[in-house]
A and B are shown apart, each in its own frame.
Chain A
Amino acid sequence: MPQRFDLLVVGGGVIGLSVAWRAARGGLRAAVMDPAPASGASHAAAGMLAPVSEVTYTEEPLLRLGLASLDRWPSFAAELAADAGCEVGDLDYRDGGTLDVAFGADDMAALEEIAAFATGLGLPARRLTGRECRRLEPMLAPSVRGGMLAERDAWVDPRKVTAALLTALERRGVTLLRTRAAALETSAGRVTGVRPAAGGTVGADRVVLATGAWSGGPGGAGAPAAIEGLPPGILPPVRPVKGQIMRLRSPEPILGRCVRGTVHGSHVYLVPRADGELVVGATQEEMGFDTRVTAGGLWELLRDARELLPGVTELELSDAVAGLRPGTPDNLPVIGPAGPPGLWLATGHHRNGVLLAPLTADLCAGDGDPGLLKICSPLRFQEHR
């Protein structure tokens, strides 16, 4: 008997799972199709929810999205924990802020400039001296010159979030189809479902493509087979942006909050977990669909991390992976109707998938500021093709 759903999400990363969960909570019959859910970028991600400390010139629209989603995170975490039958603390959701620190004089000058930019935008960002930084985080190196505390920034453990989402989906009766989507089924121009690689048809009133770095269609060395059945020009210009990231382990947490640092112009971040895990990330490489972990990638992360936090080299190295961020030309996500009726996109979140998951889920559920949905419209790329 052919299966039929109100909503079928292709892609089971943090975005796809969040979209499906939100839909199920709204009473829809939902399904997720992914041969290996929560194993891609969501598995690699550090989980910083840090729109303020990440602010840069030319990216005010991304800041708007980030702040809107950050506001949603407390209720998202509480509802998710309740649905998954766990505590909010089990997601490692914490809101102690991000401390952005500078190492050299040049790094300090750059930080001063970005702090002025953040303050000028009315963002909660407090300038700190080097000694004030070290009072907050005593393990920081004495050579840290100064910093900026983005007090509203938060963080979460993405692996725990996706695990909770999978549990919540199961408890809500959402079907998880562990197979690859081969093609979209269409009828009279309308998307009516998905043909899995294994054959057959899964019908749906609405299909949401949340396939992350794999959303951009064919091309490039090592690129996986693209989903078929779409008119040309519908898939967004999403490209994989490789990020190498490592996880260290200490018996006790050695930081109380997220620390981002600039060491001689090179960027690194450190994300602490309650259980003593310390995430150190991340490279940004335009290497196509390449997920090899390299000596140079890890060395650069450790080199900079050690300058900021000398004790880091004493920790156990427990994990090193590379994930593929779905990058877009303007660094903004692609969320909304894609053109053919019945098809939505929810992809292109680049460095901000975990942060933007609650907002993306709301936007896909028709809830949220239409102005924000307009920023993310897939049509912005189709117009100038």
Chain B
Amino acid sequence: MDDDLIIGGEKFASRLIMGTGGAPSLEVLDAALAASGTELTTVAMRRLDPSARGSVLDVLRRRGIRVLPNTAGCFTAQEAVLTARLAREALETDWVKLEVISDERTLLPDPIETFDAAERLVADGFTVLPYIGDDPALARRLEQAGCAAVMPLGAPIGSGLGIRNPHNIELIVEAAGVPVILDAGIGTASDAALAMELGCDAVLLATAVTRAQRPDLMAQAMRSAVAAGRAARLAGRIPRRRYAEASSPMTP
């Protein structure tokens, strides 16, 4: 079955997008990325020299994984726009995962700064994938502003709390005309499967894999979970019933 994820006109066979933060070593990261089957992976541009040899970017290049630079660590729209421009220059990609956080404690995205930066980056020709709260109204507005996808959180970054408001994720999915990528909060495989069952087009995760006791095995689990959740969504789940319904005839 041909079921590609399409973002900004580009096709991806894998619906699992990986992050790179938190891995104990590049070798462990490399093995996890391989096991995940990912074709698109985010890299924080802050405190990274893209021209340095042997960095995480080399790992991605060797694996043929497309780099999605992100603006993690930015607090203002202006910082995010500058970071995106530096990334475009250094990596020759106009794709950016836009991340503007409101405070260091929660790392929750700042909706106003994010929207402001998104408008400016879209006008500047970027393919913008913004990280946002699970807010259907903001998701719609960002789509209208020309973003190529929206990336609502399941729970705060690195928290592993899963999807705290599945209802809002469903509302975002219902209204969206661009891919919805569940970003942040995934703790284990069932969270990733649930995101896909809710109708998300893809899942982005990092910590759940990189800080697991066996990152490569968890990456494999996430790959299976995303595929299973996607298949379940396409297959169509049965309605929930209050009482039993026999699956085989009870009476002759």
Q: Residues of A at under 8 Å CB distance from B?
A: 56-59, 117, 216, 218-221, 223, 237-240, 264-265, 283, 285-290, 327-331
In this assembly, does B48 line the interface, its C-beta being within 8 Å of a C-beta of chain A? Answer: yes
Interface size class of B (residues with CB under 8 A): 20 to 34
| Residues on the A chain within 8 Å of B48, using CB | 285-287
| Residues on the B chain within 8 Å of A59, using CB | 24-25
Per-position binary interface string of chain B over residues 137-154, scored 1 when its CB falls under 8 Å from any chain A CB and 0 otherwise: 000000000000000000
Q: Residues of B at under 8 Å CB distance from A?
A: 24-28, 30, 47-49, 51-56, 104-105, 158, 211-215
Q: A287-B47, A287-B49, A329-B30 are in contact. Are A58 and B25 (CB under 8 A)?
A: yes
In the bound complex, how far is the Cα of B53 from the Cα of A289, in angstroms?
A: 10
| Residues on the B chain within 8 Å of A216, using CB | 53-54
- Are A286 and B49 in contact, CB atoms less than 8 angstroms apart? yes
Interface pairs (23), CB distance under 8 Å? A56-B24, A57-B24, A57-B212, A57-B213, A57-B214, A58-B213, A59-B25, A216-B53, A219-B52, A220-B49, A223-B53, A264-B104, A265-B158, A285-B47, A285-B48, A287-B48, A287-B49, A287-B52, A288-B52, A329-B25, A330-B25, A330-B26, A331-B25
- Are A219 and B53 in contact, CB atoms less than 8 angstroms apart? yes
| Residues on the A chain within 8 Å of B55, using CB | 239, 286
In the bound complex, how far is the Cα of B105 from the Cα of A56, in angstroms?
A: 24
Residue of B28, B30, B215 contacting most chain A CB atoms (<10 Å): B28
| Residues on the B chain within 8 Å of A220, using CB | 49, 51-54
- Are A290 and B53 in contact, CB atoms less than 8 angstroms apart? no
| Residues on the A chain within 8 Å of B28, using CB | 58, 330
Residue of A58, A238, A330 contacting most chain B CB atoms (<10 Å): A58
| Residues on the A chain within 8 Å of B49, using CB | 220-221, 286-288, 290
Nearest chain B residue, comparing its CB with the CB of A331: B25
Nearest chain A residue, comparing its CB with the CB of B216: A58
Q: A57-B213, A264-B105, A286-B56 are in contact. Are A329 and B51 (CB under 8 A)?
A: no
Nearest chain B residue, comparing its CB with the CB of A104: B105
In the bound complex, how far is the Cα of B52 from the Cα of A288, in angstroms?
A: 5
- Label chain A's interface by main secondary structure: loop
| Residues on the B chain within 8 Å of A329, using CB | 25-27, 30, 54
| Residues on the A chain within 8 Å of B213, using CB | 57-58, 117
Lowest 7 CB-CB distances: which A-B pairs, in order? A239-B54, A288-B52, A219-B53, A288-B49, A330-B27, A331-B25, A220-B53
Q: A57-B213, A287-B47 are in contact. Are A239 and B24 (CB under 8 A)?
A: no
Nearest Cβ in chain B — how far from A295, in angstroms? Answer: 13
From B51, B54, B212, give the contact of A238 (CB < 8 A).
Answer: B54
Nearest Cβ in chain A — how far from B75, in angstroms? Answer: 12
- Are A58 and B215 in contact, CB atoms less than 8 angstroms apart? yes
Q: A221-B51, A238-B54 are in contact. Are A58 and B104 (CB under 8 A)?
A: no
- Are A327 and B53 in contact, CB atoms less than 8 angstroms apart? no
In the bound complex, how far is the Cα of B26 from the Cα of A328, in angstroms?
A: 8
Nearest chain A residue, comparing its CB with the CB of B54: A239
In the bound complex, how far is the Cα of B30 from the Cα of A341, in angstroms?
A: 32
In the bound complex, how far is the Cα of B31 from the Cα of A329, in angstroms?
A: 11
Nearest Cβ in chain A — how far from B49, in angstroms? Answer: 4
In the bound complex, how far is the Cα of B53 from the Cα of A249, in angstroms?
A: 36
- Are B52 and A286 in contact, CB atoms less than 8 angstroms apart? yes
- Are B52 and A239 in contact, CB atoms less than 8 angstroms apart? yes
In the bound complex, how far is the Cα of B48 from the Cα of A55, in angstroms?
A: 25
- Are A286 and B47 in contact, CB atoms less than 8 angstroms apart? yes
Nearest chain B residue, comparing its CB with the CB of A221: B51
Nearest Cβ in chain B — how far from A352, in angstroms? Answer: 13
| Residues on the B chain within 8 Å of A283, using CB | 47
- Are B25 and A237 in contact, CB atoms less than 8 angstroms apart? no
- Are B25 and A288 in contact, CB atoms less than 8 angstroms apart? no
| Residues on the B chain within 8 Å of A290, using CB | 49
| Residues on the B chain within 8 Å of A237, using CB | 54
In the bound complex, how far is the Cα of B104 from the Cα of A265, in angstroms?
A: 11
| Residues on the A chain within 8 Å of B26, using CB | 327, 329-330
Nearest Cβ in chain B — how far from A53, in angstroms? Answer: 15
| Residues on the A chain within 8 Å of B25, using CB | 58-59, 328-331
In the bound complex, how far is the Cα of B53 from the Cα of A216, in angstroms?
A: 9
Nearest Cβ in chain A — how far from B58, in angstroms? Answer: 9
From B27, B51, B211, B212, give the contact of A288 (CB < 8 A).
Answer: B51
Nearest Cβ in chain A — how far from B93, in angstroms? Answer: 18
Nearest Cβ in chain B — how far from A285, in angstroms? Answer: 5
| Residues on the A chain within 8 Å of B104, using CB | 264
In the bound complex, how far is the Cα of B211 from the Cα of A220, in angstroms?
A: 29
In the bound complex, how far is the Cα of B55 from the Cα of A216, in angstroms?
A: 12
Q: Given A57-B24, A59-B24, A219-B52, output 16 extra A-B contacts at Cβ < 8 Å.
A: A58-B24, A58-B28, A58-B213, A219-B54, A220-B49, A220-B51, A221-B52, A239-B52, A264-B104, A264-B105, A283-B47, A286-B47, A286-B55, A327-B54, A328-B25, A330-B26
Nearest Cβ in chain B — how far from A356, in angstroms? Answer: 16
In the bound complex, how far is the Cα of B158 from the Cα of A56, in angstroms?
A: 17
Residue of A218, A223, A289, A329 contacting most chain B CB atoms (<10 Å): A329
In the bound complex, how far is the Cα of B52 from the Cα of A221, in angstroms?
A: 6
| Residues on the A chain within 8 Å of B215, using CB | 57-58
In the bound complex, how far is the Cα of B25 from the Cα of A328, in angstroms?
A: 8
In the bound complex, how far is the Cα of B7 from the Cα of A292, in angstroms?
A: 38
| Residues on the A chain within 8 Å of B54, using CB | 216, 219-220, 237-239, 327, 329
